[in-house]
Structure 1
Amino acid sequence: MLSTHYANADASLLEERVEDELATSELPFVITPHKVNYLLPVTYNPSPNNAPFEQSDEVHYPLDKVEAKFQISFKFPLAYNLFGDNGHLFFAYTNQSYWQVFNKDISSPFRETNHEPELFMLFNNDWQVGNFINSFWGFGISHQSNGASNLRSRSWNRIYGTMVFDGGPIAIGTKVWWRLPEDEKDYIGDPRGDDNPDIGKYMGNFEINAVYGLEQHRFTMLLRNNLRKSNKGAIELTWSYPIIGNLRLYTQYFNGYGESLIDYNVHNQRFGIGVSINDLL
């Protein structure tokens, strides 16, 4: 079964997360969070990316700078201890949506929805790295798509490796990936073939997630970069604080490339405020 080894057991965010998951992982009517689940009723992007919609056959109206954003993410264990007393297999799914809820001129559509199913293995570990303990390492495969067609279609498949480090009030997750290659399209608008062959230039091949707990405050940071001269990447910062029960006030700031698949090659800034129901990445 999942377990952890701690650098500071009295104040370990990772320990709290694992204990909460183990307490409910096998209950039939409980869904275990994977990434953060949140609803941001109001987000502001000063420069919405209209280009994909201008190229479509639909009647075009400018996108609103203010829209709603939400994420639903869960996982469930398929098997524990596949290799002796270690090696745990999980399935996970994450849905991230952008909703032009205030844009009545175009009937308040969902501008973009990204779907990401994953299958991954996770292993307990106890390597000491400075003041941190590498509590978990693992690998997996993920598919990410926006479910759109024609010129708005975006998707990619990745094999990835991950490590999670516990430093008491700080937890750090690292993730590296390799994109599975796809065939080139024979012509523009070909429904088969690679929808976004240059996505690696903007999304890179690694990211770092960190969370810091200060009393009941939670601060997180995501960093991503392509490690090339073009220096494409992204940073996302969040802050949350409990308000009632499991509900937390949640704020998010994003700056960079790849916030969503439709905008993977466009530099975006976004600030949003709303609520979340879990506080770790």
Structure 2
Amino acid sequence: MKKPALLFPVIVSLLLGFSTSAALAMEPVPISPTGSAIVQRQKAEERVESSRFSLLPYKQNYILPLAYNTHPNKRTYADVGEDLDRLELKFQFSFKIPLAKGLIAGQGNLFAGYTQQSFWQAYNDQQSAPFRETNYEPELYVDFVTNYSLLGLRSRFVSIGFSHQSNGRSGDLSRSWNRIYALAAFERGNFYCAIRPWYRIPEASDDDNPDIDAYLGYGEFYALYLYKEHRFGVTWRNNLRSSDNRGAVQLDWSFPLPGHRLNGYLQYFNGYGESLIDYDHVNNRIGLGIIVSNWL
């Protein structure tokens, strides 16, 4: 097992260096009193999409060297004898690749997306600092630019896609699911939100996690507020059941670091499904680190 000190700069380099062509799109979108941050991000992406091998940031790209969980999922790992540390390193990188434009009447852009999230027991010397869990999520989706008003909000785009998410493991630790989803994004001033309902594609009787819907629900809601160079975000999901109600909430705050182009990042998560292996376990985690690219 490689030492954390050797792997850490590799992870940071991976987060920072998708490709030179992606640099423009990864710049924080400036807040304009009259403009739309979503539209500005779309225009920035269009300027680099013409590159043959362009990689664009998709979801958040961050690293949390200090990610403390008050309630680690030791039950799942009891059979393999892993003694988990409460403090671990969490990171995520996410990118998308434009595949085709104007699929339907000049509208509809096809993208392939990929998101990978890892939980690394980097400070657990007794267990040789293993990667506790890694989730892999390739996607294929179509984006449609929109511009209509709904309940005082301005619609900016709608997406329809397919997602496969798994942890790449076998046996009792294997977790995976396939989903078809839709996403609608809205804005008003410096407030942005998106709702993403999904439908889980049924699997065979030997499904690793047949009850995952009962914990992760059937969709999620995301909201973001921009204030100067700060971003305040919340992600919420719930199974919407009156009995056995379960869900999760994640709070985000990204803030400028003096003298640096990167932003600091504070993340709080409470609930089910922080990772696939923890889909039926409540985590309570706070993490501090840096964020390379945000939603906006």
Shift of 1:13: 2.3
8 Å contact from structure 1 (residues 246, 278) kept in 2: no
Equivalent residue for 1:42, pick from 63, 66, 76: 66
Q: How far 1:168 moved relative to its partner?
A: 2.6
Residue by residue, what CA displacement relative to the aligned partner does 1:140-194 show, whole Å, maximum 9, x if unpaired? 1100000011000000000111101121311111100110001112xxxxxxxx1
Alpha-carbon shift at residue 199 of structure 1 (Å)? 0.2
C-alpha RMSD over aligned residues: 1.5
Shift of 1:264: 0.2
- In 1, Cα distance between the equivalents of 2:107 and 2:241? 37
- Correspondence 1:127-276 to 2 at 5 A: 127-185=148-206, 194-229=207-242, 230-243=244-257, 244=259, 246-276=261-291
Q: Contact (CA 8 Å) 1:61, 1:105: kept in 2 or not? A: no
Cα distance in 2 between the residues matched to 1:9 and 1:180: 42
Correspondent of 1:85 among 92, 103, 106: 106
- Answer whether contact 1:11 1:169 (CA < 8 A) is retained: no
| In structure 2, C-alpha distance between the alignment counterparts of 1:122 and 1:71, rounded to whole Å | 23
Count of aligned positions:
263
Distance 1:98 1:15 in 2: 33
Are residues 34 and 161 of structure 1, via their aligned partners in 2, closer, same or farther at CA, if it must alter by over 3 Å?
same
Question: How far did residue 21 of structure 1 move?
Answer: 1.5
> Normalising by the residue count of structure 1, what TM-score does the alignment of the two structures yield?
0.90
Letter in 2 for 1:51: R
244-253 vs 102-111, greater mean Cα deviation? 244-253
Q: Is the 8 A contact 1:55 1:151 kept in 2?
A: no
- For residues 57 and 107 of structure 2, the distance between their equivalents in structure 1, rounded to whole angstroms, comes to 21
Q: Which residue of 2 aligns with 1:12?
A: 36
Deviation at residue 25 of structure 1 after TM alignment:
2.1
More helix by share: 2
How far is the alpha carbon of 1:23 from its aligned partner?
Answer: 2.0
5+ residue gaps, structure 1, are 1-7, 186-193
The residue that corresponds to 2:136 in the other structure is 115
Pair 1:248–1:28, CA change in 2 (3 A): farther
CA 1:94–1:100 in structure 2 vs 1: closer, same or farther (change >3 Å)? same
**Offset of 1:276 from its aligned partner?**
0.7
